[in-house]
Amino acid sequence: MRRTKIICLLTILFAILFRISLLAGQDKPSDPSLLNLDRIFGSREFASERFGPARWMKDGASYTVLEDSAAVKGGRDIVLYSAETGRRDILVSASSLVPANASSPLSIDNYEWSADGKKLLVFTNSRRVWRQNTRGDYWVLDLAGGTLIKLGKGFEPSTLMFAKFSPDGRRAAYVSKNDIYAEDVSTGRIIRLTWDGSATLINGTADWVYEEEFSIRDGFRWSPDGQSIAFWQFDSSGVRDFFLINNTDSLYPRTIPIKYPKPGETNSACRIGVVNSFGGPARLLRIPGDARNSYIARMEWAENSRDVVLQRLNRLQNTNDVIFGDARTGEVRTIFTDRDEAWLDVVDDFFWLEKGSRFTWLSEKDGWRHIYLVSRDGQVKLLTPGGFDVLGIEGIDEKGGWIYFMASPDNPTQRYLYRARLNGSGKAERVSPSDKPGTHSYQMSLTCQWAIHIYTTFETPAVIDLVKLPQHKTSKVLADNRELIAKVQALKKKPVEFFRVDIGDGVLLDGWCIKPPDFDPQKQYPLLFQVYGEPAGQTVLDRWGGNGYLWHLMLAQQGYLIASVDNRGTPAPRGRAWRKIIYRQIGILASADQAAGAKALIQKWPYLDPSRIGIWGWSGGGSMTLNAMFRYPDIYKTGIAVAFVANQRYYDSIYQERYMGLPKDNQEGYKNGSPITFASQLEGRLLIVHGTGDDNVHYQNFEALVNELVANNKAFSMMAYPNRSHGISEGRNTTRHVYETFTRFLLQHLPPGPKSATK
């Protein structure tokens, strides 16, 4: 009997080890319908076809795009296409982008045109500052004369940021080491416009938290007449340093300080300045209130060269004032205020109409996110009435009287283009074709007559075409991804299933599920949830998921059910109440919804094995995984939490206070929303993963949780990646190693494959 048991155990162990070896890519399957880690993460087999970046020209009927050069090896040409005729002209050849005394053309990281289309600005040799910000070198090509000059001669390599042409194209401005400069592109004459930039006084760009949470990177704006530049200025001298530690790049460790305000702590003082673009003293707008306890989240010129318009949020981010500032006197006046009992999102879709007399605004004040027109005297007009959310404005055809926007009134997992009359009459019209359900996105021309259109579904990579609007007629296919689509279609799989699950009280949660290819409903399978669950992201979307989808499909091929459910509080287009019900209870209501959804599915789907329920997530999804594992150990048996916030007091001020309020006013919410509070309740198998160089969600969260789990004598697994940031992608083989770590853990602790259903 004992010998028989040993043989059985050895057989099971051998099967597990064989499956691990297979999934790790050490034994590649010959069947092209089966996936493994090497195919997904160790090669470019499933890479999408490259297209762009594309730039619409001012005429609204032509665009440029980067294409591989046939004449210069490794170079890229900038090619001009006519949308109407399809005519192709090489506007800038790779050979014209070879600097003097160089043998190869510039590597184009990005490019922009001057307003008249006669000069080209090329960004190259880029270096990352934070996760999103970069600095590098800029070059200007004069198309008429063929001259190629480098901006900022005398500056150290890769130290310029955000270069852009003046409206007349004769000059360019840029930031270096927290000061702003303007340069004559023909003579190379440089004028320093600000002189007080330092490690703690920032001109023309943003501090860490504004960049991360308000996406402010390009921190200055040319006036329409080119005579002035308006800019953000940050005084971070009162903000405490957070130190990252690099242990591996030198003999002795070095510390990396970051000015990082945490909830309730001191923020940078943010102001708006205006300076003459030919030099002289800067003038700060006299914006009332405490500059450290309010946010200037957006700033532009107000369609003239006198008024600067900005959006100022209070610290709680539930009041947004639209303020006009006089660039000559510094005087300001508030013309419009939006308010919400929870929080307000910054309005990015801010467009001027009627020669600058009115602007567009998005607000949820009637319970749905709608487009409004606001006049300079504060009068408001609704353009998109109805019980649906506007997801964003894509373009405005003022001459034709239409505004184009994204929405999905009937299915929050999909995205479509609509249009409505600028005079507010009639009903919104769907422009995206009705026979193509899924996700549509658009890069529209200035006239809104043409658009570069991207279409995907959950299981279909992007098809990019040029369409004529409003007919939505395809004029040209720009990237069909034919080979990739064929590879994906050839994979062994069952179609993804979208569903809604009832968790009671009339609450229906959207979800998707991937089943094993040989799924047998008479047997029971393990279920792995992917989760995010916070206001910054939605996982249940009918769009191509790239390598993440392929990894999930690989797991399904091995015998897992994979699912994802969006709880209340995610940014789905389901109305204000859906999104903001989680105010002041991040991590609490969301994890309760997730658990209720899991319980409902276990009851609804008899082919689920209740003893094999797992969950995994990254960032906010990592936090949600911990909350699920700690709060609901009776449901979730296995979890993988990556780059998570363990204690909400450890994250940044802008994000956490937006959804939770100030810590002093919501102490219980911060405590009960933080997974570390409930770490003592862990019962299942848990893997925690973090990058030690994460400047966003600090490794501090990882170490604090380890301490708490150890203090409570809890068994767990852990993996730290030295100096990797939030995406844990830096370094050779890192991404593949991350997913192999995930896969091995699941195979060991959430065994795949069916077993006979229990009655």
**Edge-first strand listing for the sheet containing 402-407:** 390-397, 402-407, 416-421, 429-430
Instruction: Return the higher-pLDDT residue of 132 and 491.
Output: 491
- Region 590-594: mean pLDDT is 98
pLDDT for res 19: 52
Cα separation, 249 vs 423, in Å, equals 61
Among the residue ranges 8-22, 220-234, 267-281, 601-615, the one predicted with the least confidence is: 8-22
Answer yes or no: is pLDDT of 17 > 70: no
Q: Are 407 and 386 in contact, with CB atoms under 8 Å apart? A: no
- Region 726-745: mean pLDDT is 97
Q: Are strands 134-142 and 148-150 parallel, antiparallel or unpaired?
A: antiparallel
Tell me the three state secondary structure of residue 524: strand
Q: Are 730 and 692 in contact, with CB atoms under 8 Å apart? A: no
Q: What is the pLDDT of residues 669-697, one digit of tens each?
A: 999 999 999 999 999 999 999 999 999 99
Cα separation, 5 vs 12, in Å, equals 11
Q: Is 250 exposed, middle or buried (0-12, 13-18, 19+ CB in 10 A)?
A: exposed
Angle among Cα 118, 62, 136 to the nearest 5 degrees reads 50
Give the structural domain span for 534: 495-750
**Number of structural domains found in the chain:** 1
Q: Are 697 and 645 in contact, with CB atoms under 8 Å apart? A: yes
Q: Which residues pair with 358 in a beta bridge?
A: 353, 375
Backbone angles phi, psi at 181, to 5 degrees: -130, 150
Q: What is the pLDDT of residues 362-403, one digit of tens each?
A: 999 999 999 999 999 999 999 999 999 999 999 999 999 999
Asked, for residue 282, whether it belongs to a domain, the answer is: no
The single residue listed with the structure tokens 């155990």 is 9
Within 24-154, where are the H helices? 37-41
Q: Is 190 exposed, middle or buried (0-12, 13-18, 19+ CB in 10 A)?
A: middle
And the tokens for 310?
């900005």
What DSSP designation does 415 have? B
Split at pLDDT 50, 70, 90, the class of 129 is confident
Question: Which helix or strand (DSSP H or E) is residue 432 part of?
Answer: none
Q: What is the pLDDT of residues 637-648, one digit of tens each?
A: 999 999 999 999
What DSSP designation does 95 have? G
Q: Are 523 and 754 in contact, with CB atoms under 8 Å apart? A: yes
Q: What is the pTM of this model?
A: 0.94
Answer yes or no: is pLDDT of 514 > 70: yes
pLDDT for res 57: 96
Which stretches of 83-210 are assigned E, i.e. beta strand? 88-92, 110-113, 119-128, 134-142, 148-150, 161-165, 171-176, 179-184, 190-192, 201-203
And the tokens for 390?
């506007």
Angle among Cα 242, 248, 250 to the nearest 5 degrees reads 95
Helix, strand and coil in the chain, % to nearest 5: 20, 35, 45
Asked, for residue 207, whether it belongs to a domain, the answer is: no
Cα separation, 67 vs 65, in Å, equals 6
Answer yes or no: is pLDDT of 6 > 90: no
Cα separation, 313 vs 440, in Å, equals 32
Q: Which residues pair with 759 in a beta bridge?
A: none
pLDDT for res 650: 98
Asked, for residue 524, whether it belongs to a domain, the answer is: yes
Q: Are 384 and 371 in contact, with CB atoms under 8 Å apart? A: yes
Tell me the C-alpha to C-alpha distance, in Å, between residue 306 and each of 140, 205, 227: 29, 22, 10
pLDDT for res 12: 40
pLDDT for res 52: 86
pLDDT for res 549: 98
Q: What is the pLDDT of residues 439-467, one digit of tens each?
A: 999 999 999 999 999 999 999 999 999 99
Asked, for residue 725, whether it belongs to a domain, the answer is: yes
Q: Are 674 and 650 in contact, with CB atoms under 8 Å apart? A: no
Tell me the C-alpha to C-alpha distance, in Å, between residue 431 and each of 142, 447, 449, 451, 648: 39, 16, 12, 12, 42
Answer yes or no: is pLDDT of 16 > 70: no
Asked, for residue 629, whether it belongs to a domain, the answer is: yes
Cα separation, 455 vs 433, in Å, equals 11
Cα separation, 84 vs 81, in Å, equals 9
pLDDT for res 127: 85
Asked, for residue 292, whether it belongs to a domain, the answer is: no
And the tokens for 207?
């501090």
Asked, for residue 371, whether it belongs to a domain, the answer is: no
Answer yes or no: is pLDDT of 698 > 90: yes
Q: 118-127 — which CB contacts under 8 Å span 24+ positions? A: 118/142, 118/143, 118/144, 118/169, 119/143, 119/165, 119/169, 119/185, 120/78, 120/92, 121/163, 121/164, 121/165, 121/172, 122/97, 123/163, 125/157, 125/158, 126/158, 127/158
Q: Are 383 and 393 in contact, with CB atoms under 8 Å apart? A: no
Q: What is the pLDDT of residues 550-583, one digit of tens each?
A: 999 999 999 999 999 999 999 999 999 999 999 9
- The mean of the pLDDT values for the chain is 94
Tell me the three state secondary structure of residue 308: strand
CATH of residue 554? 3.40.50.1820
pLDDT for res 756: 80
| Contacts of 280 by beta carbon, 8 Å cutoff, 6+ apart | none
Cα separation, 514 vs 562, in Å, equals 5
Q: Are 575 and 599 in contact, with CB atoms under 8 Å apart? A: no
pLDDT for res 28: 52
And the tokens for 85?
């005729």
